[in-house]
A = this chain, B = another copy of it.
Amino acid sequence: MSVPTDPTKEQSQHEDDVLERIGKIVALDPTPRGELHLGDDAAVLLPFVGEAIVSTDVAVFGVHLDAELFSLGDLGFKAVASALSDLAAMGARPRALVTAVTAPPGTDLEALHRGIVEASTLANCPVVGGDLSRGHDVAVTVTVLGECPGRGAVLRSGAKEGDELLVTGPLGRAAAGLRLRRAGASLDDELVMAHRRPRPLLKEGMAARGAHVHAMMDISDGLGLDLHRMANASNVGFALSDVPVAEGATLEEAISGGEDYELLIATNDPGRLRLMFYDRGLRKPLTIGVVLGDSSLRTLAGETFLRRGFEHQL
């Protein structure tokens, strides 16, 4: 999809008019009694239960998603799913999200916002506010708010020697989907869907928190990078026995691909985790290795496991 790049161009519209049209797309569900979403200086939400969790993510068309192969709706969907995945990684229950969009005049802002709303609706996390501006880039910033009742959020820094390492599913689907799309696969292809419509694993994250796991994070930049980040935060090492490769993906895609948004978990009670997942009808988590006390030991099948994966360039 090509995007005009001159923000002073024709087709400019008054902000209030555009906001009204987009408000109709966004405000699908009735606002809960006592809350106020769009239309005032800020949104008002009923009290949070327990810790409040917040994360913000920006997705730029052409940087985070190939603008030739995917649509504005995909950009909106993916921006929301990626931000919600950060709530999943803490074990949080989503409460609300806000979006800020920049785009050149003439951009189909309604298509973009339909993608945003599809992802927020699937996660039962309403869009409660937003902002719009013209700019050269089509960029979507999504800020998500969640809550952690009872025991607090699960951090990435809590992994301990002897913990089992698990992932919520096989890896490499999103990277394989991008490769297939570049080779002409349809937008409906299952792996292409994994790339353009990723699913934030909110139920899995909440179940893992309920199982009192020690550490958790989402695999957004590839296991080869994110596992090192967890190990650094926890000051531990690891011995990977296995990397589960998704059907249709390569080992390299599974290690370095990123954007799978599967969860990486460290726990000293994997039986409890598996039972909790089974109880809730979630896919069985897959064991990939064990946490070591020596932070300099980082191996896959006995070989040194180097840091590699998708690092954004700034």
Contact = CB atoms under 8 A, between A and B. Distances in A.
B55 A42 contact: yes
A14 B313 CA distance: 5
- Category for how many chain A residues contact B: 35 or more
A251 interface: no
A81 interface: no
B7 A218 contact: no
A313 B41 contact: no
Contacts of A153: 36, 42, 44
A314 B105 contact: yes
A162 interface: no
Given A44-B52, A54-B96, A100-B141, 9 more contacts: A14-B313, A15-B314, A42-B146, A47-B48, A48-B52, A57-B100, A105-B314, A134-B314, A139-B139
B51 A47 contact: yes
Give the interface centre of A41, A43, A54 by most chain B CB atoms within 10 Å. A41
A311 B133 CA distance: 11
Interface in A45-64: 45-60, 63-64
Q: Return the 6 tightest CB-CB contacts between A and B, nearest first.
A: A42-B55, A41-B89, A141-B141, A143-B143, A12-B313, A58-B100
A44 B48 contact: no
A39 interface: yes
A233 interface: yes
A54 B129 contact: yes
Interface string A73-110: 00000000000011101101001101111110100010
Copies in the complex: 2
Contacts of A105: 313-314
A130 interface: yes
A25 to B, nearest CB: 15
B18 A134 contact: no
Contacts of A7: 63
Given A43-B54, A55-B41, A156-B41, A135 B313 contact: no
Contacts of A13: 313-314
Contact of A157 (B40, B152, B155, B217): B40
18 contacts: A15-B311, A15-B312, A39-B233, A41-B156, A42-B153, A44-B148, A45-B53, A52-B145, A54-B96, A54-B128, A58-B131, A58-B132, A58-B133, A63-B134, A100-B100, A100-B141, A100-B143, A136-B136
Nearest to A138: B135
A314 B12 CA distance: 5
B45 A86 contact: no
Nearest to A149: B47
Give the interface centre of A48, A59, A92, A96 by most chain B CB atoms within 10 Å. A48
Nearest to A226: B41
A74 B144 CA distance: 26
A52 B52 contact: yes
Contacts of A156: 40-41
